[in-house]
A and B are shown apart, each in its own frame.
Chain A
């Protein structure tokens, strides 16, 4: 039993197959919503699945002048990191499969590993577009990482815990959104930056650098990266819902809250023009200052009021 449990946890539920399916479904919801906002019908429900399956069947081209081990290994690393995070977050309203004090920090850094491996994959190719894409990915990572982390740590401070489950329970009785609105907005936008969604899609700006870091990937590599991103999206949404939107206690909570967040994300995606990379960086500098300001206020006032 002791062995079977973790295997199930890792391969099927909550990580593994389950989160992949949820990820693909959320990817479809996102695409469908954006299409609707753009006055289009949008893709069919199985579209992301068909895309991924097709990519797995495609020929995998490893370009010349590329380290094949990294080329193949990096997507797997990204997916592994993303799947690992799924073990620690309260998916579908259930407690994370594993938890320990400080798992919030681990999750945030595992999410960064996804981005890092994307950037490494970009710099591992001969294509100039990939290289610029990788540079932009890293630039963006460094600019949003700090505010994003700060924004997620806000709830942790008021809950007096670095453990996701504890914060989740605490959030069940306190809508942190109301006391830390700035943190919430920045966490949500930070997630968009992480996922490289418009308007923060400069790293894969189609009209400038084709597909950024992923330009040279075809077939499996591309599919795995897409899956990693899908999982990252689900995990990110869950985290924000758990931390800011009154916690996640049951499946209805989970779906309602994450889907509402996704609706917001899709709306933001279709409202804005792509930011130039230096505009993105500037934006995040202000965001970081804002979160810090919120922290100061929390620390000064919060000792009495919030705890």
Chain B
């Protein structure tokens, strides 16, 4: 009896936790070598046409406040450590979304001497959003899919 009670409690707690996380993903944006194309599209998702705040997404300035790290661009030598550091500053649980072809695969910049590679060579990535650049709708879709995958867990 006691066991099942705690189990119920734990289940309820877990479902509250999932609910809160899926409904309040605060994001932080890091450009590790992008051409700006993805960055302006990410910014566009906040603006009236797309309005990501509908889903509770707020772009935060401090990594300490953020749950989702949105990365754009291939990782350059110079920004590799900064990307890692930003990721490490985020409190758990945390998720990473790679936005754009370069972030997912290196894109046209693959093979350039200043480029280390794609995002998941440096930090683990939870969702990939391809496109050059992906449309704001695609970015929203990617974030929503990430949230849905959390719910299933």
- Alpha-carbon distance between A54 and B54 when the two chains are bound, in angstroms: 17
Which one of A40, A50, A57, A216 lies within 8 Å of B64 (CB-CB)? Answer: A216
What are 30 A-B residue pairs whose CB atoms fall within 8 Å in the complex?
A31-B53, A40-B47, A40-B48, A41-B54, A42-B53, A43-B53, A43-B54, A43-B56, A46-B23, A47-B23, A47-B56, A50-B24, A51-B24, A53-B19, A53-B24, A54-B23, A54-B67, A57-B17, A57-B20, A59-B91, A60-B91, A129-B62, A207-B61, A210-B62, A211-B60, A211-B61, A215-B61, A215-B62, A218-B64, A222-B64
Contacts of A218 in B (CB 8 A): 64-65, 91
Residues of B near any A CB (own CB < 8 A)? 16-17, 19-21, 23-24, 26, 47-48, 51, 53-54, 56, 60-62, 64-65, 67, 89, 91-93
Is there contact, CB below 8 Å, between A61 and B53? Answer: no
B19 to chain A, nearest CB (A): 7
A293 to chain B, nearest CB (A): 40
Contacts of B93 in A (CB 8 A): 58-59
Contacts of B26 in A (CB 8 A): 51
Is there contact, CB below 8 Å, between A40 and B67? Answer: no
A59 to chain B, nearest CB (A): 4
Contacts of B47 in A (CB 8 A): 40
Contacts of B56 in A (CB 8 A): 43-44, 47, 50-51
Contacts of B21 in A (CB 8 A): 54, 57
Interface residue tally for chain A (C-beta within 8 Å): 32
Does A35 touch B at the CB level, under 8 Å? Answer: yes
Closest to B21 in A: A54
Closest to A35 in B: B53
Does A278 touch B at the CB level, under 8 Å? Answer: no
Is there contact, CB below 8 Å, between B54 and A44? Answer: yes
Interface of A, helix, strand, loop or mixed by DSSP: loop
Does A219 touch B at the CB level, under 8 Å? Answer: yes
Known contacts A39-B48, A54-B21: does B62 contact A59 (CB below 8 Å)? no
Nearest 3 pairs of A and B residues by beta carbon: A54-B20, A59-B91, A53-B20
Choose among B19, B62, B67 the residue with the greatest number of A CB atoms under 10 Å from its CB: B62
Closest to A54 in B: B20
Does A38 touch B at the CB level, under 8 Å? Answer: yes
Closest to A48 in B: B24
Closest to A222 in B: B65
Contacts of B24 in A (CB 8 A): 47, 50-51, 53-54
Does A67 touch B at the CB level, under 8 Å? Answer: no
B12 to chain A, nearest CB (A): 13
Contacts of A43 in B (CB 8 A): 53-54, 56
Is there contact, CB below 8 Å, between A219 and B91? Answer: yes
Binary interface encoding of chain A residues 9-44 relative to chain B, with 1 for a CB under 8 A from any of its CBs, else 0: 000000000000000000000010001001111111
B34 to chain A, nearest CB (A): 20
A131 to chain B, nearest CB (A): 14
Closest to B18 in A: A57
A229 to chain B, nearest CB (A): 15
Known contacts A43-B54, A218-B91: does B19 contact A210 (CB below 8 Å)? no
Is there contact, CB below 8 Å, between A50 and B19? Answer: yes
A261 to chain B, nearest CB (A): 23
Is there contact, CB below 8 Å, between A58 and B19? Answer: no
Contacts of B53 in A (CB 8 A): 31, 35, 40-43
Does A254 touch B at the CB level, under 8 Å? Answer: no
Contacts of A219 in B (CB 8 A): 91
Does A217 touch B at the CB level, under 8 Å? Answer: yes
Which one of A35, A41, A211 lies within 8 Å of B65 (CB-CB)? Answer: A211
Given contacts A47-B23, A54-B24, A57-B20, 15 further A-B contacts (CB under 8 A): A40-B53, A41-B54, A42-B54, A44-B56, A46-B23, A47-B24, A47-B56, A51-B26, A54-B23, A129-B62, A207-B61, A211-B60, A217-B64, A222-B64, A222-B65
